[in-house]
Amino acid sequence: MNEIWLQELREFIAIPSVSADPAHQDDVRRAAEWVRDFVKRAGGEAEVVRQGKGDLVIGDLPASTNGGTAPTVMIYGHFDVQPPAPLELWDSPPFELAERDGWYYARGIADDKGQLFTLLKAAELLRREGALPVNLRVACDGEEEIGGHSIVDFIRDDERGADACIIFDGGMSRADRPEFGLATRGLIGFHLKVRTGERDLHSGYYGGAALNAIHVLVQGLSAVIARNGLLPDQLRIGRQPFSQVEVDSIKRLPTGWELIDEAGATPLDPKAEEEFYDRTWAEPSLDVNGIRGGKPEFVNTTLIVEAEARLTIRLAPGQDLETIAAAAEKLIRRAMPAEAEVELIRENSAPPGVFSPDSPAIQLGLEAFKRVLGVRPLLVRVGGTLPIYPALAAKGIPTIGTGFALRESNVHSPNERLRVEDVDRAVAAASELYRSLAALG
Ligand SMILES: [Zn+2]
């Protein structure tokens, strides 16, 4: 990376665009303006668009020649970042780009400002040479880290579309093997509230005769949590099994044993390690994320009449959000006594997203990466939920979702980092992607 690039990246990183903190709202806007100005300097058009509560940067960088017939490629990244706290765990200030031992350190360097920078830089360089062969549409997000849906609304309402989309906001399990994420899991959140009486009671007088809300809550939750490692069949309907390419990719990834051990976690059941990727990529899962009731901090003998829990289901690729939400609701309600007062509120949700590995854009992308990095990327899934994936899939826009963060990049943690060499590799890969996607025309 040369001095000018470094200076630009340093300037972008220095804007503390923490979307979760209202005190940094202006900084998120400044980061948006930084992206807008970059696109304009590169010879394009762009503006900061207020959509709902968030800022998007929407713009165009036209192909150097043949703009009328060249294919259109959307590039997506987000310019907001996670809060840097706890600050005392950082070895250098989070918003000052630092270089140590072959790594760049800063909040956002891997997730995602540093990676977004490489997509923009590659576009600018090609423009400057008069060699950008595709029309680029820039769609950047300022509320990715707070689960905002401005970008999803934008894609849903957008009529121009694109022939492909490129997202550099991910990583790879091993530095020598890039990965394209072809599918994401969906998400449904529930807030479960139980009431069984007007006030807490003496368990000596009423215990054994009156309903305890905590027991009711536990009965409801027991009906949906995994048994022998799997959710009830009603919650597994529609899931799409792995293709042969995916099975082959998984053989080259870290094993479930390594991943569970490294996380200091306990396997869910005896098969969980062996079936790690099935469980997290091809099966739905359910987690109770919080539970409240009674007074566990004190010795007491109370019969509790109020309890609540929050739970989320990760939907497997292929599953229908409404079908699974309805099935979960039925299982939970059926397991609880009808006399209890139960509120089951649906909260945030996003469907799973799936792209076909056979689409020409993804095939061209694989070849482009291989030319630059010397190795064909693995085709994998993502266990998490990225609402932009199903939004793009619904519009029929094949998406190359990839990136250069590593497991040791400390994403969302103190000392976030990206390897110095990967900035150059990412710019070269982005550039080759733009060139190769010209064949979609
Ligand atoms: Zn990100």
CA of 144 to the centre of ligand 1 (A): 7
CA of 135 to the centre of ligand 1 (A): 24
CA of 419 to the centre of ligand 1 (A): 17
CA of 266 to the centre of ligand 1 (A): 27
Q: DSSP letters of 171-197? A: EESBTTB-EEEEEE-EEEEEEEEEE-S
Q: What pLDDT is stored for residue 303 in this prediction?
A: 98
Confidence of residue 441 (pLDDT cuts 50, 70, 90): confident
Q: What is the mean pLDDT of residues 168-173?
A: 95
CA of 111 to the centre of ligand 1 (A): 4
CA of 166 to the centre of ligand 1 (A): 14
Confidence of residue 186 (pLDDT cuts 50, 70, 90): very high
CA of 325 to the centre of ligand 1 (A): 27
Confidence of residue 140 (pLDDT cuts 50, 70, 90): very high
Q: What pLDDT is stored for residue 67 in this prediction?
A: 83
What backbone torsions phi and psi does residue 190 show, to the nearest 5 degrees? Answer: -130, 145
Contacts 24+ apart (CB under 8 A), 58-62: 58/137, 58/138, 58/139, 58/140, 58/154, 59/137, 59/138, 60/135, 60/136, 60/137, 60/138, 61/123, 61/127, 61/132, 61/135, 61/136, 61/138, 62/132, 62/135, 62/136
Percent of the chain residues past pLDDT 90, beyond the cut: 96
Say yes or no to pLDDT of 52 above 90: no
Dig out the tokens for 7 from the structure. Answer: 């200076």
CA of 354 to the centre of ligand 1 (A): 19
Say yes or no to pLDDT of 53 above 90: no
CA of 433 to the centre of ligand 1 (A): 20
Q: Which residues face 285 on adjacent strands?
A: 314
Q: What pLDDT is stored for residue 8 in this prediction?
A: 98
230 versus 53: the higher-pLDDT residue is 230
Name the residue among 299, 256, 301 with its Cα closest to residue 276: 256
Identify the H or E element spanning 51: strand 45-51
Q: What pLDDT is stored for residue 51 in this prediction?
A: 77
CA of 335 to the centre of ligand 1 (A): 38
Where do the domains of the chain lie, and which CATH numbers do they carry?
3-184+352-440 (3.40.630.10), 188-239+283-349 (3.30.70.360)
Could you tell me the pTM of the whole model?
0.93
pLDDT digits (tens, 9 = 90+) for 362-393: 999 999 999 999 999 999 999 999 999 999 99
CA of 77 to the centre of ligand 1 (A): 8
Contact between 76 and 139 (Cβ < 8 Å): yes
User: In the chain, helix, strand, coil percent, each to 5?
Assistant: 35, 25, 40
Say yes or no to pLDDT of 147 above 90: no
CA of 278 to the centre of ligand 1 (A): 24
Q: What pLDDT is stored for residue 225 in this prediction?
A: 98
Confidence of residue 1 (pLDDT cuts 50, 70, 90): confident
What backbone torsions phi and psi does residue 250 show, to the nearest 5 degrees? Answer: -60, -35
CA of 106 to the centre of ligand 1 (A): 14
CA of 243 to the centre of ligand 1 (A): 27
pLDDT digits (tens, 9 = 90+) for 305-360: 999 999 999 999 999 999 999 999 999 999 999 999 999 999 989 999 999 999 99
Say yes or no to pLDDT of 410 above 90: yes
Instruction: Report the chain's C-alpha Rg in angstroms.
Output: 24
Helix/strand/coil for 381: strand
